[in-house]
Structure 1
Amino acid sequence: MSYKAIIFDLDNTLLNFELCERQAILGALEDCAVSLDFNGVSETIFLQVFETYNSQYWKQRETFSPRELIEMSYRSTLTQLDIQIDQISNLSQSFWHIFNHSGVMEPYVNEVLTILARNYRLAVITNGFVSAQLPRMQAAGIEHFFEEVVVSEAIGFAKPSPEIFHHALSRLNLTSAQVLYVGDSLTHDYAGATQVKMDFCYYNRKNQNLPQEAKPKFMIGELLNLLELFKSQAFDLFI
């Protein structure tokens, strides 16, 4: 391997998206004094219903703003669970504020980035909104590791479109052969990296079986395993 840079996905690769989202969902309820216990609803049920609606509504992100999508998710969830409140817009506002400052990381992120940054240029390619992704990286305290952070909203292309990968390569002034991409999604990360002939390391964080057609260059179960891949290339990584 002779990589010059390592590009990471953000959500569920460096930051734990599910935990960040759940902090925001429940934190907004607390901010707006909505008691699930009083309404006889468990946190687990509320989260399940909310996340189901939210995943559906976010497919309309080209039409609605993030605040509107979150408000729609709360409205549908509260209606289904028969919880009566009159401050849904406040819930949406609180959610977006909490989420945008939530930096729950995947295990070993700081350790891995600290070591890799000694020998490699690091960057991020992420789908999402600039107003969310950059503050979340700052909240986690990892933004200083990265030379470039490419957010889909900022350039008008989202993974797996090859354009977002080409944009990152152009910013780094590197070829695809000089870069390893690390991500958790076969649909967005693997598919996009493959289109631009970039080596891909699949972060299989949930130990899922790969479809037969998926053949990533590397596969790891935890980020710490990344360091094993680079032992032979950079002897001083572990000194």
Structure 2
Amino acid sequence: MKMLYKAIIFDLDNTLLNFELCERQAILGALEDCAVSLDLNGISETIFLQVFETYNSQYWRQQEIFSPSELIEMSYRSTLAQLDIQTDQISNISQSFWHIFNHSGVMEPDVNEVLTVLSHNYRLAVITNGFVSAQLPRMQAAGIEHFFEAVVVSEAIGFAKPSPEIFHHALSRLDLRPGEVLYVGDSLTHDYAGAMQVNIDFCYYNRKNQVLPQGVQPKFIVNQLLNLQDFLD
């Protein structure tokens, strides 16, 4: 059954952009920028990334207390200490991380093609949790920012998904009602939960083919963005 939507709103990270690959580029690229060689220290990239991610996820829980730059610096400091890698460049590494990350636009498969096709028939927008200084330049780096009429970033409006306010904000920017839009995202906690609260139809981008928890019923499920066209005209 074809649905008659006026707009399609996308999540950004792990829906349009591949967050993991963008982050990986930044984590390793910053070391290279500051002449910290993992090879010379006998550490594989995989091990470094695993240790970094462990600290990083712990520290980001304290984002009410520390700035993003401080959190990244703490993650590097702890990782380098645990792996016994000596450097006096930690604050430079952290700055380099942000520079690389904020300009890294590694996309999910087929994004350009999908947006090009959909933009002929639908108004397009983005709702993303994150920082304006990161999300907008990353969309520009990927070359996709021109597709979107509205880009709503949580930092700019003071509400993050799944809170209904960020969805209402996007609807008012587009001057549309909930029934006139489809929301596409990869997160059941942020995207699905948020869309459900405001009665917006949700398409779950199940990029890793995960089994859905009991009771979770998105309107549509795709594991490739190209398949969006199957139920849109």
TM-score if structure 2 supplies the norm length? 0.98
Q: State how far apart, in whole Å, the 2-side matches of 1:104 and 1:206 are.
A: 17
Are 1:189 and 2:187 matched, yes or no?
A: no
Q: State how far apart, in whole Å, the 2-side matches of 1:116 and 1:52 are.
A: 38
Q: Which residue matches 1:37? A: 39
Distance apart, 1:63 and its partner CA? 2.1
Are 1:211 and 2:213 matched, yes or no?
A: yes
Given the alignment, which residue of 26, 29, 34 partners 1:27? Answer: 29
Q: Which residue matches 1:153? A: 155
**Which stretches of structure 1, 4 residues or more, deviate above 4 A after TM superposition?**
none
Per-residue CA shift, 1:49-88, capped at 9, x if unaligned? 1111112212222222211111011011111111111110
Q: Which amino acid aligns with 1:113?
A: L
Q: Which amino acid aligns with 2:175?
A: N
Q: State how far apart, in whole Å, the 2-side matches of 1:210 and 1:202 are.
A: 10
Say which SS state the counterpart of residue 201 (structure 1) adopts. Answer: strand
Identity among equivalent positions (%) equals 84
Say which SS state the counterpart of residue 61 (structure 2) adopts. Answer: helix
Are 1:83 and 2:85 matched, yes or no?
A: yes
Q: Which amino acid aligns with 1:156?
A: G
RMSD between superposed Cα atoms in Å: 0.7
Say which SS state the counterpart of residue 138 (structure 2) adopts. Answer: helix
User: Which deviates more, 57-66 or 69-78?
Assistant: 57-66
Given the alignment, which residue of 7, 11, 14 partners 1:12? Answer: 14
Q: State how far apart, in whole Å, the 2-side matches of 1:101 and 1:46 are.
A: 22
Q: State how far apart, in whole Å, the 2-side matches of 1:63 and 1:143 are.
A: 32
Given the alignment, which residue of 210, 221, 224 partners 2:223? Answer: 221
* Correspondence 1:44-59 to 2 at 5 A: 44-59=46-61
Per-residue CA shift, 1:165-204, capped at 9, x if unaligned? 0100011111111110000000000000000011000000
Q: Which residue matches 2:182? A: 180
Q: Which residue matches 2:100? A: 98
Say which SS state the counterpart of residue 25 (structure 1) adopts. Answer: helix
Question: Where do 5+ consecutive residues of structure 2 fail to align?
Answer: none
How many residue pairs match? The answer is 231
Say which SS state the counterpart of residue 202 (structure 1) adopts. Answer: strand
Question: Where do 5+ consecutive residues of structure 1 fail to align?
Answer: 235-239
